[in-house]
Every structure is written in structure tokens, then in C-alpha cells.
């Protein structure tokens, strides 16, 4: 992955922080990436089919329902 630095105004920074604070994204970087993809999709630069193909190319974590429940309980106990 390449890194790109962008400068944003305080209002955009506040919006990113709120998205992370309410739990929509794990980080401001992820929130910004999602916003860029959404905007590109809205402009017709990326089709839903293209986005789905990119998503399905990534390897997924194979987890059993029992392991998923243990993971959820572990996270709940941390909070």
C-alpha cells in the first residue's frame, strides 16, 4: 500500500474523529478511505461490480461459530 498525505480542514478532521468515536471505523485512515471509495462510486468512477470483485479477492478468515462467540466474549470482557 502506498502512503499519501492530505491536508484537511478542522471540520473534516472533526467528522473523521466522530466516525471513529461512534465505532463506524477503527481509525481515521479507514474512515477517509471509505469516504473516497463512496465518492468515487457516487461519481460513477467505480461500479458496484468492480467494488465487489475487489472485496471478494481478499482472503477471508475461516472461523467457526464457536470461535466467533469466543472472540466476541473476549472483546466484550476487554471493554
The grid cell for 44 is 460513477
Q: Considering the chain, what percentage of its residues have pLDDT values greater than 90?
A: 41
The grid cell for 11 is 471540520
Segment 43-53, tens digit of pLDDT: 999 888 888 88
Full-model pTM: 0.60
Question: Residues for the chain: how many in total?
Answer: 79
Angstrom distance (rounded) from CA 38 to CA 3: 19
Query: What DSSP element (H or E) covers 8?
Result: none
Mean pLDDT confidence for 44-66: 84
Q: What is the pLDDT of residue 25?
A: 94
Q: Helix 28-42 crosses helix 48-57 at what angle (to 10 degrees)?
A: 140
Mean pLDDT confidence for 19-31: 94
Question: Band of the pLDDT at 79, cuts 50, 70, 90?
Answer: low
Mean pLDDT confidence for 3-28: 93
- Mean per-residue pLDDT over the chain, rounded: 88
Q: Spell out the domain ranges in the chain.
A: 10-78
Amino acid at each position: 500500500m502506498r502512503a499519501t498525505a492530505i491536508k484537511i480542514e478542522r471540520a473534516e478532521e472533526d467528522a473523521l474523529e466522530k466516525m471513529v468515536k461512534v465505532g463506524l471505523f477503527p481509525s481515521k485512515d479507514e474512515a477517509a478511505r471509505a469516504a473516497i471509495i463512496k465518492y468515487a462510486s457516487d461519481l460513477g468512477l467505480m461500479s458496484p461490480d468492480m467494488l465487489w470483485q475487489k472485496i471478494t479477492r481478499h482472503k477471508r478468515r475461516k472461523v467457526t461459530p464457536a470461535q466467533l462467540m469466543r472472540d466476541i466474549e473476549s472483546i466484550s470482557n476487554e471493554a
